Amino acid sequence: MLKLIRSKDFLGEYPIMKPSADLNEVNGMNKTKEEILIWLKNQTRIYGLTQLERLTTRNIAAQLNLSRTLASQYLNELCKENACVKISSRPVYYLARQELETKYQVTLIDEEYFNVADLVQALSRKPYQAQNFEKVVGADGSLAGCIAQLKSAMQYPSGLAVLLEGERGSGRRFLAQSAFEFLTDQHLNSAAARFVRWSVSAEMTPERQLAELFGEEQEGTVRSGLIEKAGDGVVYLTEADQLSAECQLKLAELIRSGIYTRARQTQPVLKNNARFILSLASRSAQALQPELLLSIPVHCQVPAFSRRPVQEREELVIQLLLKEQRKLNREIKMSARLFGALCADLPGLNLAELNNGLKTMCAAAYSQHPQEPVIVLKAMDLPPELLGRLPLSQVRKPSESTPLPVEQFRRQDGSDQILKLFDHLLESHRHYYNEHRVFAQFLEQGLTRMREYYDTIIFSTKEEDSRLVVIEAQIRRELDTLDLDQRLTLPPNCSFVLARMTCALARIHSSLAVWESQRQEAIQGCLNTLRQQLPEATALAESLTEKICGSLELRSQPLNTIFLTLNIRFYNQEPIRRQNCGIIISHGYSTASSIADAANQLLGKRIFDALDMPLDTEVGEIEKKLNEFIRFHSYLRSMILLVDMGSLEGIAEHLDCPMEVGVINNISTGLALDIGMRLSRCEPLEMILKSACESYQCRYRILARKQKERAILFTSDISVKISGKLAELFARSLPRPLNIRFIEADYATLQSPQERQVLFDRYEVLILIGPLGFHPENVNTMALEDIVSFRSMEPLNQALEGELDAAELELFQQQLLKNFSLQSLMENLTILNPARLLDCVYEAVSALQRQMNRRFQSRTLVGIYIHVSFLIERLVTRTAIESLADLTPFFVQAHRDFIEQVNASFAPLLKNYNVTVPIDEISYLYDYIENDRQDPSGV
* C-beta neighbour count of 226 within 10 angstroms: 18
Q: Write the CA distances from 743 to 405, 593, 737, integer angstroms.
A: 57, 34, 15
Residue 679's alpha-carbon distances to 351, 439, 600, 820, in angstroms, are 62, 24, 12, 33
- Give residue 454's pLDDT: 66
pLDDT of residue 26: 37
DSSP state, 640? E
3-state secondary structure of 768: strand
Query: What separation, in Å, do the N-terminal and C-terminal C-alpha atoms of the chain show?
Result: 68
Looking at the structure, do residues 564 and 603 belong to the same domain, yes or no? Answer: no
* Assigned domain for 878 exists: yes
> Among positive and negative, which fits the CA dihedral 803, 806, 807, 809?
positive
Strand segments, DSSP code E, in 523-615 are: 580-587, 608-613
- Domain end point (choices 508, 541, 571): 571
- Asked if 6 and 17 count as a contact pair (C-beta separation under 8 A), the reply is no
Using CA atoms, how far residue 194 sits from 149, 177, 184, in Å, is: 21, 10, 10
Spatial CA neighbour of 112 closest among 156, 141, 82: 82
Is 64 part of a structural domain of the chain? Answer: yes
pLDDT reading at 576 higher than 70: no
Q: Which of 412, 510, 563 is nearest to 128 (CA)?
A: 510
C-alpha distances in Å from residue 407, one per residue of 84, 423, 841: 17, 20, 60
Q: DSSP class of residue 853?
A: T
Cα-based distances in Å from 682 to 211, 637, 638, 639, 678? 89, 10, 10, 11, 6
Question: Is cis: bond before 771, omega within 30 of 0?
Answer: no
Band of the pLDDT at 397, cuts 50, 70, 90?
very low
Torsion sign across C-alpha atoms 829, 835, 837, 839: positive
The CA angle 64-67-73, to the nearest 5 degrees, is 95
CB 22 within 8 A of CB 2: no
Pair (546, 424) in one structural domain: yes
**Helices 558-571 and 520-533, axial angle in degrees (round to 10):** 30
pLDDT for res 104:
80
The SS3 call for residue 777 is coil
- 611, 584 Cβ separation under 8 angstroms: yes
Contact 824, 866 (CB under 8 A): no
- Over 80: is that where the pLDDT of 932 sits? no
SS (H, E, C) 186-238: CCCCCCCCCEEEEECCCCCCHHHHHHHHHCEEECCEEECCHHHHHCCCEEEEE
Q: What mean pLDDT is predicted for residues 293-305?
A: 88
Q: List strand residue ranges (DSSP E) for 287-439, in order.
A: 298-302, 331-335, 374-376, 403-405
Instruction: Answer yes or no: is 136 within a domain.
Output: no
Give the least confident one: 266-270, 295-299, 627-631, 838-842. 627-631
**Residue pair 208/247 in contact by the 8 Å Cβ criterion:** no
Kindly report the number of other CB atoms within 10 A of residue 397's CB atom: 12
- In this prediction, residue 122 carries a pLDDT of 83
Identify the pLDDT of residue 562.
85
Q: List pLDDT tens digits, range 28-51.
A: 457 889 889 989 988 888 888 888
Residue 928's pLDDT is: 76
Q: How many Å apart are CA 555 and CA 552, to the nearest integer?
A: 9
Query: Is residue 419 assigned to a domain?
Result: yes
Instruction: Say how far apart CA 250 and CA 270 lie, in whole Å.
Output: 13
Higher pLDDT, 757 or 516: 757
More confident site: 832 or 887: 832
Of 167 and 700, the structure prediction assigns the larger pLDDT to 167
Verify that 216 and 298 share a domain, yes or no: yes
* Judgement on whether residues 290 and 217 belong to the same structural domain of the protein: yes
Cα angle 469, 474, 479 (rounded to 5 degrees) comes to: 125
Of 650, 677, 703, the residue at which a domain comes to its end is 703
| Per-residue pLDDT, 449 | 73
Any alpha helices (H) in 457-534, and if so which ranges? Answer: 468-486, 494-507, 509-518, 520-533
Angle of helix 520-533 relative to helix 509-518, nearest 10 degrees, comes to 80
Task: Give the β-pairing of 221-223 and 216-218.
Answer: antiparallel
d(CA 16, CA 395): 12
Quick check: 782 pLDDT over 70?
yes
Same domain, 699 and 731: no
User: Which amino acid makes up residue 46?
Assistant: I
**Model confidence at 704, in pLDDT bands (50, 70, 90)?**
low
Question: Span 890-902, mean pLDDT?
Answer: 83
Higher pLDDT, 577 or 83: 83
Could you tell me if 859 and 791 are in contact, meaning their C-beta atoms sit under 8 angstroms apart? yes
Per-residue confidence (pLDDT) for residue 93, from 0 to 100: 93
854's CB contacts (< 8 A; 6+ apart) are none
Chain mean position to CA 836: 35
Report the pLDDT averaged over residues 99-115: 81
Q: Percentage of residues in the chain with pLDDT exceeding 90? A: 9
Convert the pLDDT of each residue in 579-609 to its tens digit.
778 888 888 877 888 888 888 888 877 788 8
User: What pLDDT is attached to residue 567?
Assistant: 78
The total number of structural domains that make up the chain: 7
Co-location of 549 and 591 in the same domain: no
**Average per-residue pLDDT for the chain:** 79
Q: How many CA atoms, within 13 angstroms, populate the side-chain half-sphere of residue 838? A: 16
Contact 658, 707 (CB under 8 A): yes
Over residues 348-359, the pLDDT tens digits come to 788 888 888 899
Q: What is the pLDDT at residue 196? A: 93
Give the pLDDT of residue 17: 34
pLDDT recorded at residue 392: 62
| CATH at 803 | 3.40.50
**pLDDT band (50, 70, 90) for residue 126:** low
Residue 198: CATH number of its domain: 3.40.50.300
Q: Given this model, what pLDDT does residue 178 score?
A: 92
- Contact by Cβ (8 Å): 842, 920: no
Cα separations in angstroms, 99 against 77, 505, 526, 845: 18, 30, 31, 59
Q: Residue 417 carries which side chain, given as an amino acid letter?
A: Q
Supply the pLDDT for residue 899: 85
Pairing label, strands 162-166, 275-280: parallel
Q: Which of 848, 877, 559 has the alpha carbon at shortest distance from 718? A: 877
Whether residues 511 and 433 share a domain: the answer is yes
**How far apart (Å, rounded) are the C-alpha atoms in residues 934 and 937?**
9
Where does residue 717 fall: left (phi above 0), alpha (psi -120 to 50 degrees), or beta otherwise?
alpha
CA–CA separation, 289 and 878 (whole Å): 92
Is the residue at 939 inside a domain? no
- Spatial separation of the C-alpha atoms in residues 575 and 680, rounded to whole Å: 14
Residue 279 and residue 166 share a domain: yes
Could you tell me if 698 and 719 lie in one domain? no
pLDDT of residue 2: 29
Higher pLDDT, 859 or 145: 145
Selection from 357, 279, 273 nearest residue 320 by Cα: 357
Decide: 836 and 913 in contact? Cβ < 8 Å: no
| Residue 442 CB contacts under 8 Å (≥ 6 apart), including other chains | 428, 429, 431, 432, 529
**Which of 285, 302, 319 delimits the end of a domain?**
302
User: Is the distance from CB of 247 to CB of 206 less than 8 angstroms?
Assistant: yes
Taking the C-alpha atoms of residue 118 and residue 86, their distance in angstroms, rounded to an integer, is 11
Q: Which domain holds residue 157?
A: 144-302
- Check whether residue 765 and residue 673 sit in a common domain: no
pLDDT (mean) for 821-850: 77
Cis peptide upstream of residue 558 (ω within 30 degrees of 0) = no
Reply yes or no on whether the pLDDT at 465 is more than 70: no
Closest C-alpha to 654, from 710, 703, 581, 708: 703
Q: Cα angle vertex 446, ends 440, 450, to 5°?
A: 140
Pair (597, 730) in one structural domain = no
Q: Is residue 138 part of a domain?
A: no
Q: Which helix (H) or strand (E) holds 662?
A: strand 660-664
pLDDT-wise least confident of 578-582, 636-640, 922-926: 578-582
Q: Is 422 helix (H, G, I), strand (E, B) or coil?
A: helix
Which residues are 222's β-sheet partners?
Answer: 217
**239 in any annotated domain:** yes
What Rg, from alpha-carbon coordinates, does the chain have? 37
Say if residue 193's pLDDT is above 80: yes
Helix axes 520-533, 439-455, angle to 10 degrees: 110
Q: Are residues 841 and 797 in the same domain?
A: no
Q: Is the pLDDT of residue 234 over 90?
A: yes
In angstroms, the CA 586 to CA 593 distance is 9
* pLDDT for res 236: 94
Residue 595 and residue 574: Cα distance in Å, rounded? 22
pLDDT band at 682 (very low <50, low <70, confident <90, very high): confident
Cα 340 to Cα 14: distance, rounded to the nearest angstrom? 6
Has residue 135 been placed in a domain? Answer: no
